[in-house]
Every structure is written in structure tokens, then in C-alpha cells.
Amino acid sequence: MTVTVATDSPAELSADLLLVPLPSERSDEVLSELESHLGQAARRAADDFDGKAGESLRVYADVAAGRVVFIGTGDAVADEDEVTETLRQAAAAGAAEAQSLKAERVAVLLPHVFGDAKAAPAFSEFRAAQAMAEGFTLGSYRFTQYKTDDEKAPSISNLTFHVSSTDDADSVQQGATRGVHLADATCFARDLVNLSPNDKTAPLFADRIAASGEEHGYSVEIWDLERIQKEGFGGLLAVNLGSIEPPTFSVLEHKPDDATNEKPVVLVGKGVVFDTGGLSLKDTKGSMDLMKSDMAGAAAVVGAFEALADLDVQLHVIGLIPATDNRPGENAYVPGDVITMHSGTSVEVLNTDAEGRLLLADGLSYAKRFDPELVIDLATLTGAQVVALGGEAAAVMTSETDGSAEHLYAIQRAGERSGERVHPLPMYASYKKQLESSVADIKNVGGREAGCITAGKFLEHFVDYPWMHIDLAGPAFLSSAKSYRPVGGTGFGVRLLLSYLEQYATTRG
């Protein structure tokens, strides 16, 4: 989809559909100006339109596009992050209308166009354009790879933003282009999550990562079984024992010449491409049948690298993705096994369905050789996270050390800016008592209580650097759509990471 900017009169914009954001409250002045731009029919419809956030109303008007869709932005608010999210959701509602009308060319009026404080709060055109381009692209997403229907809706080929002055054109173009890049990277992560398990073995997943790196301009190195064995990745190898496919370990790198950090930031993504639970077998309905999504943390890392490269973020970032499936094969690891991890730590396995933390622990241990400035891991790690926070936010944890509060605050702010929220959980030392083992250094599971936190405490055992753990089990995969978040993979984490890392880059150097 191409993004353009036009200064033509709104009524003369060449498009199949014109999207017009409107808030709940509009002054007579705004409505009169709307009438002067779009005609009496549009004015009468606007008079009757509630403008609630996410609502839309289709109108046939005397404009070049022929069809106008009002999209509600709700009540005026002062918080810029809330305005941004409202515009994303409004644009997603507009995208749904565009698809139902099979519109291929869509024009958008920014909320500033009528100049009323309630219609356009103090908010930059750049940020408004980015938010609406994000929401429109994310709201247009459909995963159709396995559909055999010949009659598919035409894709939206062009999105045009109207600006009233050429002075705003560059800012709007840059904001909209940025929004599309972020959304495209998120949609790629969605595609990875939504792939069928038979198309997403660890080697096939690694191939897709390598292809992404080649297309977008970041480096990728793929380790095979022999290299993984040589490096002593005991957790990854143990989980892989029941599989007929070998594991992989992907090393991604984005290293611009003018990076602001001397030491890299490392992202580690859990890449369990399908999780049966192993011999600690999952139930099928509502559990195993969703487990193609158990690599959503890895997908978020890959999507983030696409966006880092496309947006030329001046930060040195390394990505680590340990990948395998977890199956109850004839040689599968069993409860009671003691395995030796990459770090040399011995782990007593009491539940083979707590496998993701074993992969991550090897990745976190390996990350030490980069002398990282900061490490962030992302994983669909626990059902306990879903119970605690549902699909509205991911859980974030960090070691309670100097600087941890700063990292937590920064990632929460990134979540508010991006619309991908995170909520901190405590990491008191007492939680680790649940992981004490009588036969090994540590157990891979604790008790029934605080399962999300004890998983974080397990990972903490393997780090000795600034670190954050993000458990995104709830928001990574949805059973019902929520605005621009579709059923299935949501790509959660991509825009969160970019918001965080771009801000982080400005604090270095």
C-alpha cells in the first residue's frame, strides 16, 4: 500500500472512499465548515452521528469519492497517548468500511482539518498521521494464506492524507509512512504466528527469518543442530528430544554505522513453534489447539528487526531466537530429568510443559558474551499471565537492582505510546523459594501460586546484566477481535519494542 499526501479540496480528492474523523461534540462552526467542504447531505448526516469512539457512518455525498464514512473519535481528551489510541481505533473502523465497500483508493482527513479544539486537540499532524496510518493498516489485516476462495476482496492500494497547507505535507507524509512501516512489521509478526504448524517447523521458521533479514537489511545467522550441541544449549536440546525436526538458533543483528550505544541491546524471543506440552500433555480445546502461537515472542523480535531496519533506528541491537517444537516423542524428556543448561546450571524438570523458560534460559545465558547494555526477553510463557492481566496488557518483570525502576517506567511509557501496554509484577527474592530443588540447582516450575512471577524468577537465575522479561501470553493471540487487533496473532510487542528502543537510542551517546 502506498501512502500519499494531497492538498486538493476534500470534495475533489480522487478516491473510492473518503474517511472523516469526528468527535462526539462538534461546534456549529465545525459543522458549517464540514458542509462547505462536503455538502448538505454530509452535514445532515454529521448532525445525527454520535461520534462515539469506534463507530462509523456511511454517507453518499456529492464529492469525487462518492462515499464518505464518518468515523467516531469519542470525547475530547487531553492525554496524547489516549488520543493516539483513539485515532488508531477510528482508522481501523474506517478500514473495515473500506474493505466492505471493496475500496482500493482511500482518502483520509486528519482531525485537524476543521480546526476546532474539540475535533483537533493540541496534537501534531505527524503523530495524527502516524496513528491513523497504523490503525488503518493494522485494521486492514487479513490472514488468507490457506483460503481457497477465488473471489477475494481487492486490497487497498493507496491511502491519501489530505492536508490544508503544503507546510504540513512533509510532516504528514513522514508520520504516515512511519505508521505503515510499524504496522507492516506488526502484520509480518502476525503472519508468522498464524502460520500452520506444518508450515512452521523450526528449520522453516528460521528460513523465514533469514528471508526477512535479506529483504529488510539486517544480518541473520542460523545455527543447526551440530552448532547448538557444540555450544551446549542443554535446555533447547532437551525440549527438542521428542521432535522429528532439529532445533535452530537464530542470531539477528541490526548495527547501523552511527549507533548511539557502544554495547548492544539484546532481544531474546521464545520460539516454540508448536507446544503439545510434551509428556505433560496439554488439553486440546482452548489450549493445545492454540499453540501454534507459542512462538509469538520470537515473532515480535523478528518484526521489531524489520522495523528497526526500515526506520533506520540508530541503535545496535542483537536478536536471539532459540526454536523447536515440544512433542511427546519416543525420546522425549520426562518429568524427573535433570538437564545441564548452557550456563552450567543443573535444572530438575518437573513439568515438560514449562519448556519455554528452558529455551529462554539458554538464550539469556548466551547473551552474556555480547556484554550487553540491556537484555529484553519476550515470551508467551505462562497461563498465569493470562489469568492476571487477560489480553489487555503483558506482564513485565525485572531484577530489583539499580536502574530497574527506570527501565520499568520507560517500558510502561512505551506501552502507553504504542497502545501495547505492559504492567509490572513484583520480583521479591522470596518467590524463588518455590524453585528450590533437592537434587539440582533449580526446578523448572514452582507451586500453583504466582506462576507468572516464578517463571520470571527462573529466568532471573540466568542473568547478571540489566534485564526485563515480558510475558505476553494474553495479548499475543486473541479468540475475538478487538478493534485493530484481529482474531489470532496480534503481533503484540513489535510496536512496544520500537517505541521503547527509539526512545532508548535518544538517551545514549
pLDDT single digits (tens) 230-276: 999 999 999 999 999 999 999 999 999 999 999 999 999 999 999 99
Provide the 3-class DSSP secondary structure of residue 261.
coil
CA dist., res. 307 & res. 494, Å (int): 8
Handedness of CA 150, 100, 293, 215 (dihedral sign): positive
pLDDT score, position 118: 41
CA dist., res. 206 & res. 189, Å (int): 14
Residue 325 predicted with pLDDT over 80: yes
CA dist., res. 421 & res. 414, Å (int): 8
| Distances in whole angstroms, Cα of residue 333 to Cα of each of 4, 120, 326 | 55, 59, 10
Name the residue with cell 509478526: 189
CA dist., res. 396 & res. 464, Å (int): 18
Cβ-contact 441, 413 below 8 angstroms: no
pLDDT score, position 115: 46
CA dist., res. 304 & res. 343, Å (int): 27
350: Cβ–Cβ under 8 A, 6 or more apart, which residues? 335, 336, 443, 444, 445
Query: What CATH code would you report for 2-185?
Result: 3.40.220.10
Provide the 3-class DSSP secondary structure of residue 317.
strand
pLDDT score, position 117: 41
**Binding site feature residues for Mn(2+):** 270, 275, 294, 353, 355
**Binding site feature residues:** 270, 275, 294, 353, 355
pLDDT score, position 267: 99
Q: What is the pLDDT of residues 306-324, one digit of tens each?
A: 999 999 999 999 999 999 9
| Distances in whole angstroms, Cα of residue 448 to Cα of each of 52, 101, 206, 442 | 42, 50, 35, 17
**In 57-118, which ranges are continuous DSSP H helix?**
80-100
490: Cβ–Cβ under 8 A, 6 or more apart, which residues? 186, 190, 193, 475, 476, 477, 478
Tally of CB atoms within 10 A around 102: 12
Residue 363 predicted with pLDDT over 70: yes
Q: What is the pLDDT of residues 91-112, one digit of tens each?
A: 999 999 999 999 999 999 887 5
- How many residues would you count in the chain? 509
Tally of CB atoms within 10 A around 40: 10
User: Across-strand partners of 320?
Assistant: 251, 268
User: How large is the average pLDDT for residues 167-185?
Assistant: 95
Residue 52 predicted with pLDDT over 50: yes
Which H or E element spans position 300?
A: helix 296-310
Average pLDDT of every residue of the chain: 93
Residue 119 predicted with pLDDT over 50: no
Residue 204 predicted with pLDDT over 80: yes
| Residues catalogued as catalytic | 282, 357
| 405 vs 277: which has the higher pLDDT | 277
Q: What is the pLDDT of residues 426-484, one digit of tens each?
A: 999 999 999 999 999 999 999 889 999 999 999 999 999 999 999 999 999 999 999 99
Provide the 3-class DSSP secondary structure of residue 257.
coil
479: Cβ–Cβ under 8 A, 6 or more apart, which residues? 487
- Of 137, 102, 118, 11, the C-alpha closest to 63 is 11
pLDDT score, position 404: 85
Cβ-contact 10, 19 below 8 angstroms: no
Cβ-contact 435, 462 below 8 angstroms: no
Confidence of residue 224 (pLDDT cuts 50, 70, 90): very high
Residue 403 predicted with pLDDT over 80: no
CATH of 195-506, one of 3.30.565.10, 1.10.287.130, 3.40.630.10, 1.10.3720.10: 3.40.630.10
pLDDT score, position 150: 54
Cβ-contact 128, 86 below 8 angstroms: no
201: Cβ–Cβ under 8 A, 6 or more apart, which residues? 245, 273, 325
- Of 186, 187, 178, 227, the C-alpha closest to 206 is 227
pLDDT score, position 25: 84
| 167 vs 127: which has the higher pLDDT | 127
Domain boundaries, the chain: 2-185, 195-506
What percent of the chain is modeled with pLDDT above 90? 81
User: How large is the average pLDDT for residues 418-424?
Assistant: 98
